[in-house]
Structure 1
Amino acid sequence: MFRTAMGFIGLLGALAAVPPAIAEDNSAYSVLIISRERLEVATSCEIGVYLNDQLSGRLFQEQSTSFNLPAGPVDVRLRLLPGQTPGCAPGLEDQRSTRLNLQAGQINKYRIAMGQYGMELKRAPLDY
């Protein structure tokens, strides 16, 4: 009994030495929503959303995706992805990206539209 009690006290002492896990403040993040809800991009190909040159999301028609990102600048690039649909093979594309400056605690919504140089992001209302 004494041995069990001492083991329990030792375990409690070891747990007290470990610092508690504290979640970061949610206000340090921003929400980025990118939608392909409108039929502005006349292709059935999947569109890849690249954040800081990393493929982070894929969108078909009538879809949207969201990201919780730290506040600050983020480069967003859109690209047609190869797939099973005919005509979706990669070719020469505009490699420019759009730099967005995200503010902490804000929700930013953009829609994919066709511009002079290909696909681009346009600010959209939240409509909640």
Structure 2
Amino acid sequence: MRRPLLCLFAVFASLIASNFACADDVQDFAVLVISRERLEVPTPCEIGVYLQDQLSGRLFQEDSVSFNLPPGKVSLRLKTLPGRAYGCEAGVIGEQPNIVLDLKAGDIRKYRIGAGPNGLFLKQENLNY
């Protein structure tokens, strides 16, 4: 009775040890978090997040979106999107020029959207995790 129980315990111990070994692998992606605070952008319009010139996310007031991206250079652009709210025409606040971010594996970057006289912009935030 002891021998089968000991063998079963050894099998479970080896499985648990192999799971912990996998947890130490290096991350092969970067995390990009973009948030929109209500007071920073004074418009009810949706804001589109374009990655590599493709619409990748939509942000309403007090909303955020996150992306798992491969390491390397990423082109990012913000633009207001047409909607049902009054005055929400495409690009009503102004289009932002492309921003190129150089992401490294394991990076976690957080940005907040703001609006100024030249249109939308991104402010880098502390993670506070």
TM-score scaled by length of structure 2? 0.74
8 Å CA contact 2:112–2:123 kept in 1: the answer is yes
- In the alignment of these two chains, the number of paired residues is 104
Q: Aligned partners of 1:99, 1:123: CA distance in 2, in Å?
A: 14
**Deviation at residue 43 of structure 1 after TM alignment:** 0.3
Q: Aligned partners of 2:111, 2:91: CA distance in 1, in Å?
A: 25
**Deviation at residue 94 of structure 1 after TM alignment:** 2.7
Q: Aligned partners of 1:88, 1:46: CA distance in 2, in Å?
A: 8
8 Å CA contact 2:96–2:119 kept in 1: the answer is no
Distance 1:125 1:45, change over 3 A: same
Distance 1:107 1:84, change over 3 A: same
Alignment of 1:79-98 (within 5 A): 79-91=79-91, 93-98=94-99
Alignment of 1:38-53 (within 5 A): 38-53=38-53
**Deviation at residue 107 of structure 1 after TM alignment:** 0.5
* Structure 1 gaps, min length 5: 1-24
SS in 2 for 1:27: coil
- Percent sequence identity is 59
Deviations 1:59-85 (A, max 9, x none): 001010000000011111000000100
Q: Any runs of at least 4 consecutive aligned residues in structure 1 with deviations exceeding 2 A, and if so which?
A: 91-95
Distance 1:61 1:115, change over 3 A: same
RMSD over equivalenced CA pairs, Å: 1.6
Q: Aligned partners of 1:91, 1:36: CA distance in 2, in Å?
A: 17
